[in-house]
Structure formats: C-alpha cells, structure tokens
Amino acid sequence: MNTPLKIMICAGEVSGDMHAAALMRALRAAVDRPIVFRGFGGDAMRAEGAELFYHTDRIALIGITPVLRNLPFLLGMIRHMKREIRVWQPDIVLTVDYPGMNLRLARFAHDRSIKTVHYICPQVWAWRRGRIPKLARILDLLLCILPFEPALFKQTSLDARFTGHPLVDRAAETRAAPPVALPWNGTHRIALLPGSRASEITRILPRLLAAATLLEERLEGDCSFIIPAPTPAMRELGEAVAARARTRPARLTFVDGQARHVMLQAHAAAVTSGTATLEACLMRCPTVLVYIASRVTYWIGRWLIKGVKHLGLANIIAGREVMPELIQDAFTPQRLADQLQRYLTDADARAQTLATLDETNALLGTGDASTRAADAIVSAVAGQ
C-alpha cells in the first residue's frame, strides 16, 4: 500500500484559498499515491478534502489596525501551526500567498529539513527587495504567477519558476461558458467596479457615479451601467452609497458577483486597482484603473513602492500603460468620463487598446497554471 504524501497547505485569504484548491486537484492528478492535506484555508480547500485548523473567515485581515487588534490570536495560531509541523512531520509545507505568516512557517519548516514550496511570489519587485535573499534561504521552490518574477532570483540559489497566472484559466472558463443574461439597457455598456472593501466602496463609488452621469449626458442617455457586487454585504453597502450620492445615472443596476461576465460583455469599464483590473485585461475590456486612498495611506504607499512606475498589474506586466491610471487627485469624474467616452466612441483608439490587451494577456501563460505548478512540486519532491 502506498504511503500517503503529507502536505501542510496554508492559505490565509479567499483568493489564496481558491488557488490552493485548484492546486490540490492538480496535485492529486499528478501523484500516483494518496495525498493528505492539512493546514488552514477556506471553503474551496475544505471542499477538496483539506483538514483545516483555521478558516479564512477568521484570518483574512487587511490593514495594520485589524492585525494589531488580533495579534494575540495570530501569535497563538503561529505557535499552533509550528507545533503541527513539528509533530506531523509533513513531506512538504506548501504555502500560498499570505506572506506575513506563511513565510514564518516556511522558515520554521526549512530549519527542520522539511521541503518548502511557496506559491505566488511576494511582491518583492514593488517593495522590500531585501527580502529576496531571505526567500532564497527558506524556500526550496518558488512558484511565480507573473512572468518577470523568476529573473529577480537569478543571483540566488532559489529555484523560481513561472507557472502561468491562474486567472488565465478562470478567464477561459468564463469565455467558454454560455452567455449570462445581464440587465443591460442601452447601446453603450459600461462596467463599474468600486472595489471589494467597504472603505473603497464608500470612497470611490460616488466619483464613479458622477463620471457615469457625465457620460450619460454626453451620450444622450444611451448608456447602461452595471456594478457587480462581490458579496451581498458589499452590494447592500453599494446600493446605500448610490442612494445617498449627489448624482447617479438613470440606468444603473447592481448584480451579485459575475464580475468577469459583466466585463466580458461591457464595452468599457472603470475598475478599482486590484486583481479585478487584471481580470478586465483578460476579458479584453478597455478599462480605466481608478483609486483613491486616505492621504496618509497614499503617501506611505508612495514611499514604499517609489521605484514602481505603475499601480495596475496589467501595466506592470506589459511594462507600459495598457489601461490609464487615475490615482488620487487625478481621479476626477471629468477625466474618467473623458477616458470612457474615448473607448466608446473612437473606433481606432478602441482597436489599439484591444491589441495592447491581447499582447499583455499573451505574457500571462497559455493556461493550466495549477497543472504546471503541481508538476513543478512533484519534480521538486522527486529530487529531494
């Protein structure tokens, strides 16, 4: 009887949980013996059979204040996970994103001669490049989802591999699915994505609505705007913000989820900086990236990532601006309406934009990112 392969798998956020679950499926297909998964994550990993000690509902914390407020719990969680590693003695500690905690666990495992693999490279290209030697010391394999990341580790002994971006597969699934009936009500279809956090929605949505109203006036009312809400709670908040807004377009509808389907069918989009901007690129939707943060957060961010020219992932990957970025004071309803109107009414500009989006998408890999990642893990284990 084959001895099971024991994998401690750790993902602390919803996106990491989804990537980890896909990787679990791919590993089971690639390995010819049973695999036991234990660790922490979310519903997707649990559905794939992982035994979870902690759930993302409790540990997906964003921002300094929530982390400090939950520090005793997080420190206790680290102690517990280290004890599990020490007692269970997994064959691999597979950490997925969530670098603050995961890299601590990887170092603990590596010091005990346990194979360590990290999926989704920390953004060392944006800030704290001094982490590169540290990663090389504590990891046996780094699986990268952005094409330029492995080159950052060429001067180290770390095996860093580009396995493709997992969103390429999700985008392909969306395009292959039957068209979803969406409540469009006008010739010009515009997607508005104000973010997935309450602070983003309350700060950004009013400006999106003001720009949409301007655009509606310019195009004689023949516009339809859809806002895909990531969760029911965020939809409720968005609807409340829209109800209080000083101005809003007449043809505005909220839908639950379906962001990729909305962007696939839209003729243009205004999208808050984040993963959704890369999804917009993969959906071939001409997009304007928008963002506004508090003054303190903005200047701290500028100081931390002062060497990076662009904020949006599509622009960073392409090495040029494939979607305009309206950040802080540059993000005005007038400027956003101007950019969106150009996408909707200038055929040459639209065609050029679609071509640049296609060029950028080609850099993200040909798909099957989870399979490639699983194959890399299997080869690493075989070589131990």
Residues 6+ away with beta carbon under 8 Å from 21: 41, 44, 45, 47, 48
What distance in Å separates the CA atoms of residue 52 and residue 137, rounded to the nearest whole number?
28
Q: What is the pLDDT of residue 65?
A: 67
Cα 227 to the center of its chain, rounded Å = 18
Q: What is the pLDDT of residue 195?
A: 87
Signed CA dihedral, 367, 372, 374, 375: sign only = positive
Residues 6+ away with beta carbon under 8 Å from 125: 148, 149, 152, 308, 316
Beta bridge partners of 40: 10, 54
Q: What is the pLDDT of residue 72?
A: 87
Under CATH, to which class is 176-362 assigned? alpha beta
CB-CB neighbours of 312 under 10 Å: 26
What distance in Å separates the CA atoms of residue 309 and residue 153, rounded to the nearest whole number?
21
CB-CB neighbours of 154 under 10 Å: 8
Q: What is the pLDDT of residue 61?
A: 67
Residues of the chain with pLDDT under 70: 1, 60-65, 125-128, 294-308, 383-384
CATH of 5-164+366-382, one of 3.30.1490.20, 3.40.50.720, 3.20.190.10, 3.40.50.2000: 3.40.50.2000
Ramachandran bin of 173, using left for φ above 0, alpha for ψ from -120 to 50, beta for the remaining angles: alpha
Q: What is the pLDDT of residue 298?
A: 56
Q: What is the pLDDT of residue 230?
A: 86
Q: Is 7 helix (H, G, I), strand (E, B) or coil?
A: strand
Domain with CATH 3.40.50.2000 in the chain: 5-164+366-382, 176-362
Signed CA dihedral, 243, 247, 250, 256: sign only = negative
